[in-house]
Amino acid sequence: MQKEISYDYIRGLVDGEGCFSFHTVPGRVGSGFEKMRIPVFAISMHERDEALITALRDKLGLKNRVYNHKPSLGDGANRGRKSTLFVRDIGALKNVIIPLFYNRLFGYKGKQFVEWLEKIGNDPRVPDLYKLLYRLHKSGFYTKNQKFL
């Protein structure tokens, strides 16, 4: 029988192995041809830990695929394959990812998380649909509605 992982365990894992960033995609921003920036939560580990990333995904009820990538070997280092989970869809970010980590990460990762939310709201290259995440953050919605205790 496999043990179920806890939300606190997931937070600790993400503190060490996860990131809050942006994927760039082709598209028009304003009147120019700058690339759009899509908010993304990602966690990446060696392929031996793919079952752990899958357990994290399943615990959070996410439908995203866990990708297995070959390593970058251009610098001559001997690295293994990586398993990665990317979460970009607005529903999962709004209802799962942000509530799980809101005011619950410490140190640099907590700072990175808040800066990510601020960039979502202030970067003109982020699509308007994703600006909802920033507005909910600023309105205190996530503080009042603590889903993952």
Interatomic CA distance for residues 117 and 136, integer angstroms: 10
Better pLDDT: 149 or 118: 118
Contacts of residue 115, Cβ cutoff 8 Å, sequence gap at least 6: none
pLDDT-based confidence at 79, cuts 50/70/90?
confident
Query: What is the mean pLDDT of the segment spanning 64-83?
Result: 82
Give the tens place of pLDDT for each residue, 46-62: 999 999 999 999 999 99
Q: Which two tokens stand for residue 57?
A: 């995904």
| pLDDT surpassing 60 at residue 107 | yes
Interatomic CA distance for residues 8 and 106, integer angstroms: 12
Query: What is the mean pLDDT of the segment spanning 106-133?
Result: 96
Q: What are the phi and psi torsion angles at 19 (to 5°)?
A: -155, 155
- Domains of the chain listed by start with CATH number: 7-142 (3.10.28.10)
Taking each continuous run of H as one helix and of E as one strand, the counts in the chain are 7, 4
| pLDDT surpassing 70 at residue 114 | yes
Q: What are the phi and psi torsion angles at 85 (to 5°)?
A: -115, 125
Contact at 8 Å (CB) between 28 and 123? no
Give the tens place of pLDDT for each residue, 3-50: 789 999 999 999 999 999 999 988 766 656 778 999 999 999 999 999
Contact at 8 Å (CB) between 109 and 17? no
One-letter identity of residue 98: I
Query: What is the mean pLDDT of the segment spanning 82-92?
Result: 96
Whole-number pLDDT of residue 15: 95
Contact at 8 Å (CB) between 21 and 40? yes
Whole-number pLDDT of residue 1: 44
Contact at 8 Å (CB) between 87 and 42? yes
β-pair partners for 45: 83
- The number of residues making up the chain comes to 149
